[in-house]
Amino acid sequence: MLVDNAIELFIAFLRDQKGYSQHTIRNYRNDLGQFSEFLASTVCLSHTESMGDCEVEAIDPLIIRKYVGSLYGRLRRTSIARKLSAVRSFFLFLEKQGLNKVNPAADIATPKLEKYVPTYLPVDDVFRLLERPDRKKPLGLRDLALLEVLYSCGIRAGELEGLNISSIDFDEGLIKVTGKGNRERIVPIGRQAMLAVREYLDAIQYLREKSGGLLQNSPLFINFRGGRLSTRSIGRVVKKYVKETGLTFEISPHSMRHTFATHMLDGGADLRSVQELLGHTSLSTTQKYTHVSLDRLMEVYDKSHPRS
């Protein structure tokens, strides 16, 4: 079987059987497409100039090691690890489907990752950021609601994109989120965030009329044409107000998620509760935030203790 054909089978499996999000599937397609390009330019060049026209059976561990080696110096180790993971999952799928005898990527060592400390905002900077949107304009109210929900709930940009009006229970103060692998979870939404969402919905009723009004299955956050606000647009909104606020940090929607988790732990929340709120399947994923909180704790100790 040709590599490109096998990749399409794998992508269809992720979409139809695993129920992965469009964002995750796009990342797999990009990573495996890059692997296919490498094969075409090195391994299979003597046979054909067509990208990926290489038999799956022809790929051995040495070829994959060469591919991983070609990524060093151009990408961060986290990106290399992700690309290797995509290749490993791809061959594992082929092996389980009986389309390849072995997984040539199974024993390829994952790069040792750098210690990663999440970027987050101090509380005062969050408040400054939330004061920037113009509350006199519908677009400003939308952006304020977007920022408030990101900070109040700690959800991913892709999860925010997928929210519908029906996702928020205003009576109970809860929000239903569809996360990775189509897993649903319920998280609390703060009073200020709910107020911002209500004001935003009231302000854009005229725009909603173009798409049938305030239907329960309508997207919560929309663009000026009435369509669902994309993940990329959500990122642009966050960066716009970060720039206007004059913050020197490199802040993204995911940084708001980091900020939420860090402030929850600083406020006394236990790690297991934060794990549930973030939708992490493994507690080890959540533990990276403890480093940030411990740094903060040491800073307070050094400033406060007379014998520090």
Angle of the 123-130 helix axis to the 231-245 helix axis, nearest 10: 110
Write down the catalytic residue from 156, 200, 258, 263: 156
In 3D, which of 194, 105, 208, 90 has the Cα closest to residue 145? 194
Tokens of 107: 């024993």
Which residue in 67, 120, 200, 289 is the catalytic one? 289
Report how far apart, in Å, the C-alpha atoms of 261 and of each of 66, 122, 128 are. 38, 12, 19
Among residues 83, 88, 142, 257, the one annotated as catalytic is 257
Q: Is 304 helix (H, G, I), strand (E, B) or coil?
A: helix
Catalytic pick among 29, 65, 135, 254 = 254
264 vs 49: CA distance, rounded Å? 54
Q: What φ, ψ does residue 98 adopt, rounded to 5°?
A: 75, 20
Identify the bridge partners of residue 175 per DSSP, sorted by sequence position.
168, 187
Q: Based on the residue annotation, tell me whether 305 is a catalytic residue of this protein.
A: no
DSSP conformational letter for 229: P
Reply yes or no on whether 280 is catalytic: yes
Is 156 known to be catalytic? yes
Phi, psi of 216, deg, nearest 5: -65, -30
Provide the H-helix boundaries in the chain: 3-16, 22-38, 61-71, 77-96, 123-130, 138-153, 157-161, 191-203, 205-208, 231-245, 253-266, 271-278, 283-286, 288-304
Active-site residue flag, 257? yes
Which candidate in 23, 239, 280, 296 is catalytic? Answer: 280
Of 27, 105, 8, 113, nearest to 66 by C-alpha is 105
Q: Which helix (H) or strand (E) holds 186?
A: strand 184-188
Q: Give the active site residue among 180, 198, 208, 239.
A: 180
Active site residues: 156, 180, 254, 257, 280, 289
